[in-house]
C-alpha cells in the first residue's frame, strides 16, 4: 500500500524535486529519501493536512512559510535521489539569474523508468529510515577535506561542517546548492547525501554524534 496510507504522522509532503540533482552528484533513480527541508516544487500532501492549512495559507512565499516549524512540526518530505522534474526556466523564477545559471540550469532529470510498485516503501518509514541512516553514518569513513574525497573509491564517506558558513564553502566546491533555511536544502538531520565519483558522501554537521545518540535512544524506546 502507498506509504501515505500506512503511516503519515511523520510526513507532510511527497515531492518529485531534488535540489542537488546535477551530473556526478546523484546517480540512482530508484532511490527515495527523507528530507527535513520542504521542497516547494512538484509536491503533494494529504487532503487532511491541506484542510488544516488552507484557512491560513499565505498568498505569497508559501514555500518558506511551509518550512517554518509551526507548519512543519518535525515532519519530513519524501524525495527521489534524482529529480523527476526541473524548473520551467529563468524567466518567471524567483531565484536571481546568477543562482539559476549556477544551479537550476545544470540540473538533470531522471529519464529511466522505475518500477516504484516493487520499491520497499517500508524503508522510507521513519523508524526504518532512521536505522539505516545511523548505519550509514557509523560505517562511513571520516575524511577531513573535499580534496581527500578523491583518495577513495566505492566507499561511504563522512565529511563534516561546523557552521553555516563552512557548509556554504564546502557545498560551493562540490556543486551543491548552498541555501540554508535553519538547515541545508535537501538535508535530513542536517546531513546532505550525494555522490562524488563512486563514493557516497554524507556531508554532516560536526554535532552528528549527538544526533546518532538521540536516534538510537528513540529507536530503543520502541523495542
pLDDT of residue 99: 66
Q: What is the mean pLDDT of residues 11-31?
A: 83
Print the SS3 string covering 105-172: HHCCCCCCCCCHHHCCHHHHCHHHHHHHHHHHHHHCEEECCCHHHHHCCCCEEEEEECCHHHHHHHHH
CB of 171 within 8 A of CB of 183? no
- What are the φ/ψ torsions at residue 39 (nearest 5 degrees)? -70, -45
Q: Looking at 26, 28, 63, 127, which residue is catalytic?
A: 63
State if pTM tops 0.75: yes
The predicted-structure confidence for 149-179, as pLDDT tens digits, reads as follows 999 999 999 999 999 999 999 999 998 888 8
pLDDT of residue 25: 81
Instruction: Tell me the three cell numbers of residue 128.
Output: 526504518
How many Å apart are CA 141 and CA 154, to the nearest integer? 11
Per cent of the chain over pLDDT 90 is 54
Catalytic annotation on 101? Answer: no
| pLDDT range class, residue 214, cuts 50, 70, 90 | very high
pLDDT of residue 100: 65
The predicted-structure confidence for 111-159, as pLDDT tens digits, reads as follows 888 887 888 888 999 999 999 999 999 999 999 999 999 999 999 999 9
Q: What angle do CA 106, 67, 30 make, to 5 degrees?
A: 50
pLDDT of residue 76: 94
Amino acid at each position: 500500500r502507498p506509504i501515505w496510507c500506512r503511516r503519515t504522522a511523520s510526513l507532510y509532503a511527497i515531492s518529485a524535486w531534488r535540489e542537488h540533482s546535477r551530473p556526478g552528484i546523484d546517480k540512482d533513480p530508484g532511490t527515495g529519501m527523507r528530507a527535513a527541508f520542504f521542497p516547494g516544487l512538484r509536491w503533494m500532501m494529504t487532503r487532511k493536512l491541506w484542510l488544516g492549512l488552507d484557512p491560513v495559507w499565505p498568498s505569497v512565499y508559501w514555500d518558506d512559510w511551509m518550512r517554518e516549524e509551526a507548519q512543519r512540526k518535525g515532519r519530513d518530505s519524501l524525495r527521489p535521489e534524482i529529480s523527476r522534474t526541473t524548473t520551467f526556466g529563468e524567466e518567471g523564477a524567483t531565484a536571481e539569474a546568477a543562482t539559476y545559471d549556477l544551479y537550476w540550469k545544470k540540473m538533470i532529470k531522471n529519464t529511466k523508468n522505475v518500477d516504484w510498485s516493487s520499491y520497499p516503501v517500508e524503508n522510507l518509514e521513519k523508524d526504518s529510515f532512521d536505522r539505516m541512516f545511523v548505519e550509514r553514518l557509523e560505517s562511513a569513513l571520516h575524511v577531513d577535506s573535499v580534496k581527500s574525497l578523491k583518495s577513495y573509491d566505492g566507499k561511504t564517506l563522512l565529511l563534516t561542517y561546523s557552521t553555516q558558513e563552512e557548509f556554504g564553502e564546502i557545498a560551493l566546491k562540490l556543486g551543491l546548492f548552498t541555501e540554508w533555511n535553519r538547515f541545508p536544502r535537501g538535508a535530513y538531520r542536517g546531513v546532505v547525501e550525494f555522490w562524488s565519483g563512486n563514493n557516497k558522501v554524507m556531508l554532516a554537521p560536526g554535532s552528528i554524534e549527538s544526533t546518532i545518540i538521540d536516534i538510537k535512544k528513540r529507536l530503543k524506546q520502541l523495542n
